A and B are shown apart, each in its own frame.
Chain A
């Protein structure tokens, strides 16, 4: 695959209403709440795209003590922009066992957002990485995941660089409205400063859904929860004896074997091929239609 040439990140000529969906992070060492690393990168991407026009949203429990502090961490990033407006975050109240997706979808629709940025997966809670997909499905939007940078956005479509393994990048053009899930390799977030964090506004928006439509996550009620166990790591056996081979092994692109590239197929044919493949890999049962 040809490596795309990096282009200058262009500011939007006409501003598209942009929002970043943020979550409360969990520090890998201390477990303390704070900015989530990928979400902070999404906010950084949004700020460099639309400046202080970027609005933030979080669905969570306003009563939770540490939440305000982590959310202020994102508001503290509103500095060094063209104008010195303070940040604003909409807090969508969500109780325990609630489902964030309908709330976020309603908020995105109501506020006229056409470009939503978020991290790929939360650092605590379910952390399933599904919220982006579920939101896009519900809203009928496009979704691009693993995004390393936004190169261009013109009100109709957005050009992004998608991060692939071994530092490869793929340029994608996505139609608006769309949801972009930001990868950990995106530009590092700016420092969160105490002053802007203190001045930023957190507005509670609690009239998004009609009262009879409670955003309960029905599935999760039946789930069995237990602390995650560290996955055993495969020991890395270094077979080569010289540095050159080790370097080549480390830098090698993952080579897929046995695959085939299919082009110029009708959608039906393509679907047929995919189903055959999934059956061959025993992902679909033989009799599954």
Chain B
């Protein structure tokens, strides 16, 4: 009886599953179309086995579990198709099938163990059911395959046991094969495979990129936002169908593992954002319906089940509240952690673009910053001519007086208007002079890089600033740009390329490390031993893979660095990025307070920072707290100035250089 039933069951499951898959593909293709590159399907296995596994393997237990379960399932399914489906009842194949089912069963046991008391990051509901279904499939497949190797041949010929076995197998097939096409939890395998093949940022995978330097940190291979065509009919994403189809596909690949939720600073602070829920809401929007069936943690403070959407219905506010989108600091921690390589930040900025460019509903302070950027080229609305006021006594060399070119163009950034950051800049200038660096500044010709405008969704203002800055830079000659602001560093180095501005940009920590390496500056050993810790800025670390240089500088200063639990690529955001400090969405805690708690846990008395935003956010934490010093300030304080011409030169020659 089973011999006749099995092929019917397997082929029926495959047929129904395939019908569901076609429907699913149609859902994805509601998005904006880009030319199909079918050959990319070939790339999928390598991307899965290498790049995806690289992320999954950060949690060894789940990596092993997944290898056993998924590997066992794929092998068991392929063999079952041959053995039971097409009836090639070879005992060797049968033995392999038994082994594969056993392997899957062991994996499924581990899955079930994880599901006994599931942690808060995991989704329940269908995902809880999946763990049982995995058992059903592996046990069912194992038992029906036993006769192949001559074990218990008579037992399974017919009768009640055969019916029970078929029922177990049908359960397994429904979940694993039919559910894969029709949107059950196993959908992640089907959508995920296509998502890896057609990923919108192919540079994130090993293939197709020449710049081997970025291999050091995979997460920073492709981090520039995509430029927006400002002549498009509508700007940004209003409804799910406005996303690129690859983005919809990416949302559908989510496994709801909750790693993003665990690392999201806004979620931890009780702000109404949860990257996992956001992605699931996008799936709800794409397929139509409401979020009542979502079985994981929601947005803090927003009830689950009250929102609904459709592929052509506006996302905000029916599906997602605007506050959710404005809570994001664009720190990219979720993208970094996502084993399915989903691009949360791209999606959030796409939706912000619509809110800002079409609806004009940027949060109040953000809108004011944008207006200021339009009118005065800096977010504070200050006179751009005062950009160098802090350096009135420093006789800063202007690039306008150096037509022959300089080695380093010092990009000041908007920190030049902030009294705290001016101390950092003065320290940096001191270091550059001590190192005898040939540098100059743009002065009042420098404009904001456009970082905050772009993250707030105002691509129009960003592109205008980018074009003007690129036009300015094209008039002068310099070998490289050095800046103390990781946001400028990222935008100038990585995002201006799309607008025709290709520069060699260095963060000041990298440049100072270079000065140490070249023996151009020397420092004295610290007077007394002190524990310091280092806070990685998102736009330096995760976005651009620079984790080593700041630590190198601290080591050169003779300081012992006590690392925070979350450091390096897992560093927790200070809360100041992506315009979040301007939108200031209320929560239960403040993100910088939580970060300062991380600092305190190390017992450090000083936290070294490398970003004006981080400095401002962390210094906003009430005293008593560890002191906050920029790397440049620490170096400048320890500097032993050699009695060379570098210091005397400035006082004798410089007055002639300074224009009246």
Report which A residues bind B (CB closer than 8 A): 27, 29-30, 32, 34, 76-77, 79-80, 190-196, 198
Contacts and interface: CB of A to CB of B under 8 A. Distances in A.
A32 B384 CA distance: 12
A30 B356 contact: no
The 8 closest A-B pairs by CB, nearest first: A193-B360, A191-B360, A195-B358, A194-B460, A27-B375, A191-B367, A194-B357, A30-B376
Contacts of B383: 29-30
Interface in B339-398: 356-362, 367, 370-371, 374-377, 381-384
A193 B384 CA distance: 24
B458 interface: yes
Contacts of B367: 191
A29 B360 contact: no
B360 A34 contact: no
18 contacts: A30-B375, A34-B375, A77-B360, A79-B361, A80-B359, A190-B360, A191-B356, A191-B360, A191-B367, A191-B371, A192-B360, A192-B371, A193-B360, A194-B356, A195-B234, A195-B357, A196-B358, A196-B360
Q: Among B234, B235, B356, B374, which residue has the most Cβ atoms of chain A within 10 A?
A: B374
A194 B235 contact: yes
Nearest to A84: B358
A62 to B, nearest CB: 22
Contacts of B374: 32, 34
Interface of B: 230, 234-235, 356-362, 367, 370-371, 374-377, 381-384, 458, 460-461
A29 B235 contact: no
Contacts of A79: 358-361
A13 to B, nearest CB: 28
Contacts of A32: 374-376
A29 B234 CA distance: 33
Nearest to B380: A29
A29 B382 contact: yes
Contacts of B357: 193-195
A80 B382 contact: no
Nearest to B382: A29
B356 A193 contact: yes
Contacts of B376: 27, 29-30, 32
Nearest to A73: B374
Given A77-B360, A193-B357, A194-B235, 7 more contacts: A29-B381, A29-B382, A32-B376, A76-B360, A80-B361, A193-B359, A193-B360
Q: Among A27, A76, A194, A198, which residue has the most Cβ atoms of chain B within 10 A?
A: A194
A184 B376 CA distance: 21
A143 to B, nearest CB: 30
Contacts of A76: 360
B414 to A, nearest CB: 15
Nearest to A30: B376
Contacts of B461: 194
Contacts of A77: 360
